[in-house]
């Protein structure tokens, strides 16, 4: 079987991006060139490697097997490039970063500031939920990830670099929005819209209320922060999200942050990579930049003051 590294590299890019178009853009090739190389690879293998369903493409069983090998080979070549770049003192290159769906609200600002000082850097940024992100860590795909609490079943290097406050949100005209020091017991009368089970935010929220013996009435589960915020603005209930996600809603007075005893829940953001992973010079530079400069680059959005006098809630 006469398979070239170029073909395997193209398959790896197409499979990782789930798109011929995005793979061609990443590799600076035309889409027909990518399609032709994949077709030639399929002819060499003797089996289809991709199948299309609607507008989406998926790996076939044979494609998944070839992808596993191509991913390992691509990583080995990246390691070779990293070693040679270290020897040459290269300070530019490609940075592969995966962030959680909440991390997307601030990661671009970190990258923008970093690229100012490293203008030759090419960035591959992917947004994934926690489950997908853990899989990527297991398979050693990105240089680094930005996430909440790292998993404890993988050998990782994880360093906290910034706080991640979780807050309770409501419509500005909600009765609780004008109250202060709301006791947790009062929240049992409300309905909540929460992130899906297994997400970092959901885990933190459930642990917080369980430790305090308080029950939450969850009316909806949603997998995106944007959906939760719109549900809150529509009056479907209260939400619990990261303060990092609320900049525009607070500025436009579309959402209020409730003053609840014990809140915000203070979590932390971590910069994570596999233990023993050889970081390229540009990845190492980004690692140091985030740990040293994130607090300066990223500022938390501030809630607008209430327009009516606040009332203190007393326990019944």
Domains in the chain, please, with CATH?
A: 1-89 (1.10.10.10), 165-265+300-312 (3.40.190.10)
**CA–CA gap between residue 60 and residue 52 (Å, rounded):** 10
Identify whether the C-beta of residue 180 lies closer than 8 Å to the C-beta of residue 259: yes
Classify residue 157 as left (phi > 0), alpha (psi -120 to 50) or beta.
beta
Positions of E strands within 114-264: 122-128, 144-147, 156-170, 179-180, 191-195, 217-222, 238-242, 256-257
Q: What is the largest CA-CA distance in the chain?
A: 77
| CA 87 to chain CA centroid, nearest Å | 32
CB contact set of 261 (below 8 Å; sequence gap of 6+): 181, 182, 183, 184
pLDDT for the residue 315: 42
Q: Partners of 220 in the beta sheet? A: 193
From the list 174, 69, 136, 166, the residue with the least C-alpha distance to 272 is: 136
Helices (H), 94-224: 107-117, 130-138, 200-211
Report whether the peptide linkage leading into residue 264 is cis, meaning its omega lies within 30 degrees of zero. yes
Identify whether the C-beta of residue 240 lies closer than 8 Å to the C-beta of residue 224: no
Question: How many other C-beta atoms lie within 10 A of the C-beta of residue 92?
Answer: 15
Q: What is the chain's pLDDT, residue by residue, as a tens digit (316 residues)? A: 778 888 888 898 899 888 999 888 888 888 888 999 999 999 989 999 999 888 889 999 999 989 888 887 777 776 776 666 665 655 567 899 999 989 999 999 999 999 998 888 889 999 998 889 999 998 888 999 999 989 988 999 999 999 999 999 999 999 999 899 999 999 999 999 999 888 888 999 999 999 999 888 888 999 899 999 999 999 999 999 999 999 999 999 999 999 999 999 999 999 999 998 888 888 999 999 999 999 899 988 876 654 443 444 444 3
H/E stretch holding 238: strand 238-242
Identify whether the C-beta of residue 118 lies closer than 8 Å to the C-beta of residue 111: no
Name the residue with tokens 């994880």: 158
Identify whether the C-beta of residue 193 lies closer than 8 Å to the C-beta of residue 238: yes
Query: How far from each other are the two terminal CA atoms of the chain, in whole angstroms?
Result: 77
Name the residue with tokens 């240089």: 143
pLDDT for the residue 86: 60
pLDDT for the residue 316: 38
CB contact set of 247 (below 8 Å; sequence gap of 6+): 105, 301
Is pTM beyond 0.75 here? no
């Amino acid at each position: 079987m006469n398979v070239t590294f170029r073909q395997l590299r193209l398959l790896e890019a197409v499979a990782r991006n789930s798109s011929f178009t995005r793979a061609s853009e990443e590799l600076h090739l035309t889409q027909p060139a990518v399609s032709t190389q994949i077709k030639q690879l399929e002819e060499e293998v003797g089996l289809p490697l991709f199948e299309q369903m609607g507008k989406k493409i998926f790996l076939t069983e044979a494609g998944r097997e070839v992808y596993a090998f191509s991913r390992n080979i691509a990583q080995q070549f990246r390691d070779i490039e990293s070693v040679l770049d270290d020897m040459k003192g290269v300070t530019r290159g490609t940075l592969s970063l995966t962030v959680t769906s909440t991390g997307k609200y601030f990661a671009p600002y970190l990258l923008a500031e970093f690229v100012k000082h490293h203008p030759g850097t090419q960035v591959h940024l992917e947004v994934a939920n926690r489950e997908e992100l853990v899989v990527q860590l297991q398979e050693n795909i990105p240089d680094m990830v930005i996430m909440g609490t790292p998993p404890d079943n993988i050998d990782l290097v994880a360093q906290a670099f910034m706080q991640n406050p979780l807050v309770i949100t409501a419509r500005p005209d909600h009765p609780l929005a004008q109250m202060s020091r709301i006791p947790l017991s009062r929240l049992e009368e409300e309905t909540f819209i929460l992130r899906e089970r297994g997400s970092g935010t959901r885990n933190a929220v459930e642990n917080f209320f369980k430790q305090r013996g308080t029950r939450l009435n969850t009316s909806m589960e949603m997998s995106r922060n944007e959906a939760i915020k719109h549900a809150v603005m529509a009056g479907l209930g209260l939400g619990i999200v990261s303060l990092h996600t609320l900049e525009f809603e607070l500025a436009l007075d579309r959402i209020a942050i409730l003053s609840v005893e014990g809140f915000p829940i203070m979590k932390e953001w971590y910069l994570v990579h596999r233990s023993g992973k050889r970081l390229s010079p540009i990845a190492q530079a980004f690692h140091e930049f985030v740990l040293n400069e994130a607090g300066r680059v990223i500022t938390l959005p501030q809630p607008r003051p209430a327009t009516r006098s606040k009332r203190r809630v007393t326990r019944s």
